[in-house]
């Protein structure tokens, strides 16, 4: 991580051993990745989405606590700026589920697992931004469907911009159409190695266990953004 660190965040980091490269304030990526790789839970997609205690999916602050283990620091008692700063240092740079993510590219052990995202339960509420490691086919397919959904959403937005701009300046329709055709050709080429989205099987969220009571069945917990949510939040499927 580069950039400004709040004083309290830097104070905490300097008190921990092995977090920085010797003689610098540059993060020790190898050490940080080792902790994340060995502690982020391995689970099926179903297990991760219905985890409620951190054993099958890990939220950002739960991961930060791994690095504070053995210290006297209570992350939940710290100011929000400090919590966010520690999440930005230990979590956000490493756990992108993109193929270029630092931990994602580091999962070479069995050659089959991926880093995936879930929205597990905490205190009865779904919290987005958790991570788990899995070779479960549903998790692997789901990771692809998340990306394809974003491509589709971007296409919808682009189509709306096209309609708006060409209605206001119709004389630019040919130029704008040319850009759209070139972009479509590039996207078609990039997606061609995979299964066409329209023929891919539908993937739904895992079926929850039977509710304990009629009241529980009627009260569907909302999905909320916790204070420790990170930018790379994948939509539920």
Q: What is the C-alpha to C-alpha distance for residues 4 and 214, in angstroms, rounded to an integer?
A: 51
DSSP β-bridge partners for residue 132: 116
Q: Which helix (H) or strand (E) holds 122?
A: strand 121-122
7-16, 61-70, 200-209: least confident range: 200-209
Residue bearing the bigger pLDDT, 223 or 22:
22
Q: Which residues contact 100 (CB under 8 A, 6 or more apart)?
A: none
Map tokens 């066409």 to a residue: 196
Write phi, then psi, for 217 (nearest 5 degrees). -65, -35
Parse the chain into domains and list their residue ranges. Answer: 141-199
Q: Are 88 and 111 in contact (CB under 8 A)?
A: no
Q: What is the C-alpha to C-alpha distance for residues 220 and 237, in angstroms, rounded to an integer?
A: 16
Q: Are 41 and 57 in contact (CB under 8 A)?
A: yes
Map tokens 């920085």 to a residue: 20
Round the average pLDDT of the chain to a whole number and report it: 84
Mean pLDDT (whole number) for 168-188: 95
The answer to pTM > 0.85 is no
Specify the pairing of strand 130-134 against strand 223-224. Answer: unpaired
CA 235 from chain centre, in angstroms, equals 9
Q: Are 44 and 124 in contact (CB under 8 A)?
A: no
Angle, helices 60-68 vs 80-90, to 10°: value is 80
pLDDT at residue 50 tops 90: yes
pLDDT at residue 201 tops 90: no
């Amino acid at each position: 991580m580069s950039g400004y660190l709040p004083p309290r965040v830097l104070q905490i980091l300097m008190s921990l051993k092995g977090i920085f490269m010797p003689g610098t304030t540059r993060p020790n990526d190898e050490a940080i990745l080792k902790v994340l790789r060995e502690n982020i839970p391995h689970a099926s997609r179903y297990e991760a989405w219905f985890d409620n205690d951190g054993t099958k999916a890990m939220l950002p602050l739960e991961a930060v606590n791994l690095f504070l283990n053995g210290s006297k620091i209570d992350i939940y008692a710290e100011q929000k700026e400090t919590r966010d700063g520690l999440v930005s240092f230990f979590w956000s740079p490493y756990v992108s589920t993109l193929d270029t993510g630092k931990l994602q590219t580091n999962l070479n052990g069995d050659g089959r697992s991926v880093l995936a995202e879930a929205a597990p339960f905490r205190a009865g509420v779904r919290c987005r931004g958790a991570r788990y490691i899995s070779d479960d086919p549903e998790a692997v397919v789901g990771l692809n469907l998340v990306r394809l959904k974003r491509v589709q959403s971007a296409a919808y937005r682009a189509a709306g911009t096209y309609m708006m701009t060409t209605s206001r300046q119709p004389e630019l329709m040919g130029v704008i159409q040319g850009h759209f055709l070139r972009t479509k050709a590039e996207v078609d080429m990039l997606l061609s190695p995979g299964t066409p989205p329209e023929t891919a099987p539908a993937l739904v969220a895992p079926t929850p266990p039977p509710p304990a009571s009629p009241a529980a069945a009627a009260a569907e917990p909302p999905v909320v953004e916790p204070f420790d949510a990170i930018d790379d939040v994948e939509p539920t499927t």
